[in-house]
Structure 1
Amino acid sequence: MAELTLSARDRIDLAAFAGRALRADDVAVIRIKRRPDGLLGVWVNTGFDVLASRVVSGSMSGDDVVCGASELRTVLRATYDDPAAATVDTGFALDSAWRGALPSAAGFTHVDDVPARVLVQLSRTGAEVARTQGSGHGPPTGLLDQQVLNVSSESSDQVVGVSMRSVFALTAMGFVRQADNRDISETSPIDDIDDAEMVRVRATAVWARLDARFGSVYQRRTMPLGLSVN
């Protein structure tokens, strides 16, 4: 159990993060870890075997806690009508429910930037394929594992693959939004996304990371890819 002290805006943002995590997994757990810069890193293991993270301002009793996404969203929502309710209890600690280590904050190098519109369009194309080829268990594994982009660096020989798993996770968590900051729906015109909106691709030898304006996703690097974006 830990106590979080957050601004009203950060409580709303964190509740939205928890809500999106629950769409993919109704028993999702969230990990909150204090960062060296004093901010709080919030993490979830998405239903796509990809980690999603965003950063909020605030303080926390303790340095690292795992809690239920549903319980956290409930207590955060209960504070919406009370501006003075800045401190919330994360509830029963679920540390044993978290599997795997978090990526290190250090060591990532910038590879290149990809237009957000490109990634949203890839997500929509993949979703259409999933509707025709998927099952009650979700999109086929072959689709999720497909490497849909090769992102290369002009300053080195590094090539980083972006899989459909990462693309689905990025859009499902709402990390790319319309130019007016509204959520993107399946029917939102692609032109509603600012054409200058970029998603930054960073990598280490182990992790590929996509940084959008409202959060990041991380996937372990595995196989070589097919399509290059320079």
Structure 2
Amino acid sequence: MVISDQRVLSVPDPAERENLATFLTRAQRLDPAAVVRLRRRGSGLVAAWVTTGFEALATRTVAAELTVDDVTADADTVLVGLSAAGPIDLGYSLDSAWRGALPPDQGFGHIDDLPARTLVELAERGADLAKEHGSEHGPPASLLDQTVLTVSAGEVRVQVPMRVVFALTAMDFIPHAGDRAGAEQIAPDELVRVRASTTWLRLDARYGSVARRRTGGLSLTPTTGS
């Protein structure tokens, strides 16, 4: 087999192969033509990034080796490769298919930990509103851009829009009992961590993270005292 320009992904651990396959399968539910951006994260780790359709990115890090620092590949190609043992030929580079920058690996501060149930409940209420007021093009932008949570740490306040909550639940990053991630299926002590930098917001759940650049009304501003 001829490897395409040495763009090769190796995921030797079967459990990690399954983790990445699950992540990509969920991405394909949101976009059947999904691409995945793979980036090295230190020794023996690779971060996989996908878009979600909510102007937010989703990511999961797995134990793996990548022969290049950063590459965008067809998600289906990676999925097919994960179904068999051995290194995965990523095929031709699809770097031009990726739009926008990735958030930095460093520079995020811990803002707060939120009950996962709260986020799922917000997503459920948002989905009901989307059915009522949406169109064939999806939920209205006014709903997606709405701030549904404001969290703070010290003098820093972060607004969380519905877009990010929808992205988190659409990727099924919160563990739950049964087939459906309803609020009643979420353990009461399951948490989602809110982190932020001066330019990005990130929600970290057990099975992955979502991130969104500070646009569309998202703010990260110090509060002022009286």
What is the TM-score normalised by the length of structure 1?
0.87
Correspondence for 1:75 among 81, 84, 94: 81
- In structure 1, what is the equivalent of residue 193 of structure 2? 200
SS in 2 for 1:199: strand
Partners of 1:220 and 1:183 lie apart in 2 by 31
Correspondence for 2:170 among 172, 179, 183: 172
SS in 1 for 2:80: helix
Partners of 2:69 and 2:212 lie apart in 1 by 24
- In structure 2, what is the equivalent of residue 82 of structure 1? none
Aligned residue type for 1:201: V
More displaced stretch, 206-215 vs 128-137: 128-137
Q: Are 1:110 and 2:110 matched, yes or no?
A: yes
Partners of 2:22 and 2:134 lie apart in 1 by 27
Correspondence for 1:15 among 5, 12, 21: 21
Aligned residue type for 1:160: V
- In structure 2, what is the equivalent of residue 142 of structure 1? 142
Partners of 1:37 and 1:210 lie apart in 2 by 24
- In structure 2, what is the equivalent of residue 129 of structure 1? 129
Classify 1:130/1:159 alpha carbon distance in 2 versus 1 (closer, same or farther; 3 Å).
Answer: same
Runs of 4+ in 1 over 4 A off after TM superposition: none
What is the CA-CA distance between 1:62 and the residue it aligns to? Answer: 1.3
Q: Are 1:27 and 2:37 matched, yes or no?
A: no
- In structure 2, what is the equivalent of residue 47 of structure 1? 53
Q: Kindly report the root-mean-square deviation, in angstroms, between the aligned alpha carbons of the 2 structures.
A: 1.6
Q: Are 1:221 and 2:214 matched, yes or no?
A: yes
Count the aligned residue pairs: 212
What is the CA-CA distance between 1:86 and the residue it aligns to? Answer: 3.2
What is the TM-score normalised by the length of structure 2?
0.88
Aligned residue type for 1:184: R
Structure 2 gaps of 5+ residues are 220-226
Identity score, percent:
49
Partners of 1:177 and 1:52 lie apart in 2 by 16
